[in-house]
Structure formats: structure tokens, C-alpha cells
Chain A
Amino acid sequence: MAGRVRSFPDVLLSVENISLSFGGVKALTDISFDIAKGEVRAIIGPNGAGKSSMLNCINGFYHPQQGAITYKGVRRSQMKPHEAAEQGIARTFQNIALFRGMSTLDNIMTGRNLRMKTGLFWQALHIGPAQREEIENRKAVERIIDFLEIQHIRKAPVGQLPYGLQKRVELGRALAAEPELLLLDEPMAGMNIEEKQDMCRFILDVNDEFGTTICLIEHDMGVVMDISDRVVVLDYGRKIGDGVPDEVRNNEAVVAAYLGVSH
């Protein structure tokens, strides 16, 4: 089965010669690749390859020692996580990072943080513009809840939800920001087949309907090859492959990294 073949003329984000190390440990070495506007871009690689570190560099949690990232035409050597969010980058986490004390609704509402602008004063009074804004944003959140089919857990505290649903709420929170670039760190880890299929459907729908560019890390090769437009492969912090799924599948270095080679 071949990946979807589509063409994407515009580059949204390009990573240029990124190197990141923690003390003596080199997490990433001289990585370059780009993400085109509107595509589904996967980052794969064995455990410890530096995939999550790569995402953390893109959204500003880590600041690479070398290299730069050009996003929407602006070249930066580093930015802060909340600046990344302001620039339209949203993400989910490998180990779910939800606000455990809050309900599903509040979690997703928090995702709309940047869409809400009224000043502290009105908020403290909770009248006038603050109330209007709250209602408008609540509508947007309800659309996301419908879209992700989680109406039944709207008021439930997220800490008590099953794993698969927590992942879905986390996706909802990221979508609430109406991002241009959505980073998903292992969105399907620990899910059963049915949950994975649901999640794939949501990811593709987000990409199709809202035109959101998606960059995801995933271990399930079947899923990756099915839903991605292009795949970049990391191993020990280095890039060993980059291209459409079929190219990557037949790349010797990639096969070797995953299966080992006989010497």
C-alpha cells in the first residue's frame, strides 16, 4: 500500500543543522529537514533516536546549541515555548500532559488561552466583554468536542479517564488553539487497534478539513506509512533517511537501523 501522493509547494518550517547535547550526551547531531505547508510529516526512529528532542526543539522546550529553525519565514536560533504557541505551534506529549485537576471542558478551554484577549479587569468582574468572549470560545470548544466524539466525558475530571480518551482530550486541547502546525508525540502509543483507527481518522480529518500541517512521531509503521506524506528517519541523533514512505521503506540504512544488519 502506497502513501498518499500529494504535492506541497510551500515550506512552513525548516530545520537547519540542528545540534543538541545534554552535557556529554549528543541528542541531535546536525539535523536538517523541512515541513511543507499542509502535509503530514512523520519522524520515526528506534528508541532514543532523538525524535522527542527534535519536537522539543521545534516548540522551544529545548534550545539547540547549534543551528536554526525557520518558521513562517522567520529564522530563529531559539524561542520560548509560549512564543511558539503564539506563532501557531501546538503539541501533544508522549506521556500525556493534561491538567489533571480539571474537567475535559476546562482542559480544552485552556487550549484557547491565546484566543482570549480581554483584560484582567473585565475578567475579574466576569461581565461585559469577558463574558461574551467566554461564550464564543465555549462554542469553539464544543465544536472540537463534537469533532472528537467526546461529548459524554465533557465534565469528567481528566485524571480519571482511560488512557485512550486522555490522548483524545490532549489532541482536543492542542486543536483548540487552531494551530498552523500540530506536533504529535506518539499519538497512538498504548492504544488498541480500534482506538488507533479512530486517532488516525481524527488526524487525517484535521489535516483535510482545517489544512493543519502535522508533524508526528509514531512507532506503528503501518500507521506511519499509511497516513504520512513524507517521513524523516533518525537514529542515534542523526538523520538517516528522508522521503516519501516508499523511499524510506526501501532505504537500506533505515532497514538496518530497525532490523540490524549481518556483518
Chain B
Amino acid sequence: MLGAFLETLIGGLLTGVLYSLVALGFVLIFKASGVFNFAQGAMVLFAALTIARLSGEIDGKEVHLANFVVAAAILGVAVAFIGWYAWREYVARGAGPDERRKMQMLAVVGALVGGLAAYSYGKGAWPLWLAIAATAAIMGLLAYAIERLVLRHLVNQEGIILFMATLGIANFLDGFGQTLWGSDIYKINLGLPKDPLFLFEGVFPGGLLVDPGELVAAAIAAGLVVVLAIFFQKTRVGRALRAVADDHAAAQSVGIPLNTIWLIVWTVSGLVALAAGLIWGAKLGVQFSISLIALKALPVLILGGFTSVPGAIVGGLIIGAGEKLSEVFLAPILVKQFDLAGGGIENWFAYMLALVFLLFRPQGLFGERIIERV
């Protein structure tokens, strides 16, 4: 009995880490701009699709050369842009008119790099590492486009307006991803071990069955979470992000440019979406339903608090474990006692828990206390 319980618990916690990863993307943007980014799920799907198509893991379906050309073009622009931006930020702050020429030059170089990449692989697939790097660059470019085309025009607007804007972004990305990459179900092969592991065989009869792929995924997610937590708490940029969240005017007055901060936040949450898309995609296959994982992140956020990085982690773990445990242990009892037809608890347990939290602790476990001063 204990063995079965532990096995379920471990399985649940490992899934929970993945929920945390998606929730993290939300927390990052919420912390720095007070916006609930509905597009986070769409970003996960977009990233997963991009990786899947670029690394070419497609069951018997032909890869369109056009995909590669488009991807290479985007990649080239992204590389050029990142180069230009880094140059502007760290080498020549406010250099002036010849920035444009530098940018043009970099765009050409970037396009050449992208073109070469596309040409050299022809119709074949890119290796996974290159696909991931390219997708990271594309997510960065996407963040820039969102900041430039959407957010910049909505400074000082109500939160609900920004939320609506992210709804629009979500729909656009869902469609754009399909236009670019098609709507079939793709696989991502991370080359993770598939054979189940049996732990503690001496302690429990038969041991505890653990999926090694999930272990690796959880380790990646945990590493990411630690890096992000340190980044937010201890670094200058992290402090600047929190400053922008607290008070726009004060942040500007100490020399923090809002636009740059938003760009950084959206890029980072794009990279988090990339990690989530990679892992979920490897687990479930890349399909439209991945974007619905965002909905699973909602109860995680309510549990952990919208503004807390550790909250996203603990919330994810609780939801993941709670779901699995309730399905395995609570469902049979309910079925027996009330003569119900079946389980399905997994599907609503998280939301029920979130509802309870909303009633008794609306700021979540780690969120900032909500204090109204009158």
C-alpha cells in the first residue's frame, strides 16, 4: 500500500514540476507588468511546433522546404536583431545615427547565416540543438514584436485591456503557428531513456516504478526554476523587473527603461515556454491541446500566488501530486460509497482546490498580502 502511494506521489510530483514550468511563464510576466498573459499557452505550443518541425521528427510526412526557408529567414533576422541589440546595449549606448547602418549590416549577416543554415540542411532535419537554438532566437524576436507592436501602445492602460491584448496574441499565435508549420501532430525526440526504472526494490516488493524521462524533465525544470529565482532575487535586472512591477514612474526615475524591461521579461517567458514546449511535446506529442495546458497553470497560480516564483513551483507540485493521488485513492472510495460511475477526478480536482484557496486565501500561499488602505 505504501509502495503504491509513493509511486503515485512521485509520478504526481514529476508531472507537477511541468505544471510549475508553465505557471512560471505566467508569473514572470505578471510580476513585471501586472498582466495576466493569456498567450503563455499559445507560446508554449508555438515553441514546441517550431522545434518539432525544425528538428524534423515527423512520422512519414515530408518536410516542406518552405518551412526551412521561412525558419531560416526568421532565424537570420532574429540573430541579426539580437546582435544589434546587444551591441547597442553594451557597446555603444545611445550611439545615434549610424545605428541604422549597423543594423542593416547585421541584418545582412544574419540573413546570410540563416540562408546558409537552411541551404546546408536542405530538405533534411536540423539536429535538435540547432533547432532549440533557432527556436530560442525566434522566441526572442517574437517578444520584441509583441513589445513593439502591442505593449508599447498600451502603456498606462487598465490591466483588463492588456489582458484582452494577450487574448489577441494567443489567437494570432495559434493560427500563425499552424500557417507556418501545419496542424498535424508531431513528435519531439529528446533521446530520453524510455525504460522504466525500479527504485528501492529492497524496501518495497517490486520496487517503485518511475519514468526516467519524467525524471530528466523534472530535473531540467527544477534547474530552470532555481536559475530564475536567483535571477529575480539577486541581480540588477531582477531588481529592475520588480521595480517596474511596483511603480512605473519611480522605476523610470532611477533610470530603468520600461521598454527594455518588458522586452527582457517577454523573452525570458518565451524561453520558459520553449522549455515547457520541449518537455510537454516530448511527453504528449506536439498538438493543439498543448496550448490548453495554460488552463492547468491557472489553479497552480491561484495556489502559489500570482507574484511568487517559489509559489509557482510549490503550487505545481501540490496540484500534480493532489491530482494523481485523488484519482488513484479518492476515486475508488467515491465510486464505492456513492455508487458513482467512475473517476475523472483528475480533471476537476485542481480547480476545486483553487476554488477553496480563492475563498480562504486569495493571495495564494506565497503571494504578496493584499492590503487595502482606506
Contact = CB atoms under 8 A, between A and B. Distances in A.
A251 to B, nearest CB: 32
Given A93-B249, A106-B239, A113 B254 contact: yes
Contacts, number: 102
A85 B236 contact: no
A124 B368 CA distance: 24
Interface in A102-127: 102, 106, 109-111, 113-114, 116, 118-120, 123-124, 126
Given A110-B240, A123-B235, A124-B231, A82 B256 contact: yes
Interface string B285-323: 000000000000000000000010000000000000000
A195 interface: no
B254 A85 contact: yes
B227 interface: yes
A91 B250 CA distance: 9
B245 interface: yes
B255 interface: yes
A101 B246 contact: yes
A59 B234 contact: no
A134 B252 contact: no
Interface in B214-255: 227, 230-231, 234-240, 242-243, 245-247, 249-255
Which of A83, A97, A98, A176: most chain B CB closer than 10 A? A97
Given A98-B247, A100-B246, A101-B245, A90 B254 contact: yes
Interface size grouping (class) on chain B: 20 to 34
A113 B256 contact: yes
Contact of A113 (B94, B236, B258): B236
A130 interface: yes
B360 interface: no
Contacts of B255: 82, 85-86, 113-114, 177
A81 interface: yes
Contacts of A99: 242-243, 246-247, 250-251
A61 interface: yes
B90 interface: yes
A51 B295 CA distance: 49
A120 B239 contact: no
Nearest to B371: A159
Interface string A29-60: 00000000000000000000000000000011
Interface of B: 90, 93-94, 227, 230-231, 234-240, 242-243, 245-247, 249-258, 264, 307, 368, 371
Given A82-B257, A98-B246, A126-B230, 9 more contacts: A61-B253, A100-B246, A101-B246, A106-B242, A110-B240, A114-B254, A120-B264, A123-B231, A174-B253
Closest 5 A/B residue pairs (Cβ): A85-B255, A81-B252, A97-B250, A99-B246, A123-B235
